[in-house]
Structure 1
Amino acid sequence: MDRIPICKEGYEKITQELADLKAQRPAIIQAIKEAREEGDLSENAGYDAARERQGMLEARITYINSRMPLFDVLDLNKLDGERATFGATVEVEDIDTDEKRTFLLLGPDDADHKNGSISVLSPMGQALLGKEVGDEAIVDAPRGRIEYEILSVDFNGSASLKIK
């Protein structure tokens, strides 16, 4: 598998999540132990719930551990350029509706569309990659083909993580 881009702040966040998940293990093991002591496991909802929680926790830990060696950690404060790439804040305008939107291009593990960041691997991210001011980006969306004009490409470093 290829390297996975992630910003320094995103890497720190996922590293903290992994530590938090691992810290939950003893409590889940204790809950399973206590549920076992209640007797018949075939009708023990507490035991089933604790085992399910343990399974989800271990799956997430395994997933994060499998991705950690693939991360290419990038410092947003050291990125710049004229073209839309990882770490760029791109302002676009929908050619049909004149609606303006701003996106921060990040990796799949640190992008958060609720905060205005999108993955460089998403359809919108892929359409924006490599574009400069004045270029058009075409996105095939569920509602149909959308054409955007690139209004600006900026590299604001870590400050760009606060866009909405």
Structure 2
Amino acid sequence: MTGSTVTDMITVQSGVPLSMNSEFTIAVHSLVYLAFLPERMAPSEAIADNVSTNPARIRKVMSCLKRGGYVDTREGAGGGYRLTLDPAIVNLADIYRLMAQGSVIPSWCSGNPEMDCVVGSNMREVMDGIFCRAEKQLENYFGGITISDVLGQIKECEEC
């Protein structure tokens, strides 16, 4: 698996990328944005503007992140969402498990265990195993990337 990218890992043999839960991307973007800010705090409107989505969607994602202990809120003027953990210890696997676990596994699989054909009767079980192993590899890959790492890569882009 050395040298593989995450895109390589979640692309099926047909070459069609699997769908990834967009809340995962929004959560990572939001946490990186908060880590970037000196005070590590911003209102949902500012986060939404940076993510290019609406504040209601940000509030939904941030609510999950708050339940997970990654952010807290401050009410009133100057309030918003604040990053509560060191971005160097928050890895993408943790965020994936919170926001999108299972999104690699399709909700429907071909075949029917009741079929007389060996292919049709076993396809679902075999594919379930393949997708479960793929998701585990994806989680392992994400486990090696922190919010600080993502921010560092973004800062490198700025220097280009």
Scaled by the length of structure 1, the TM-score of the pair is: 0.29
> Per residue, is there more strand in 1 or in 2?
1
> Per residue, is there more helix in 1 or in 2?
2
Larger radius of gyration: 1
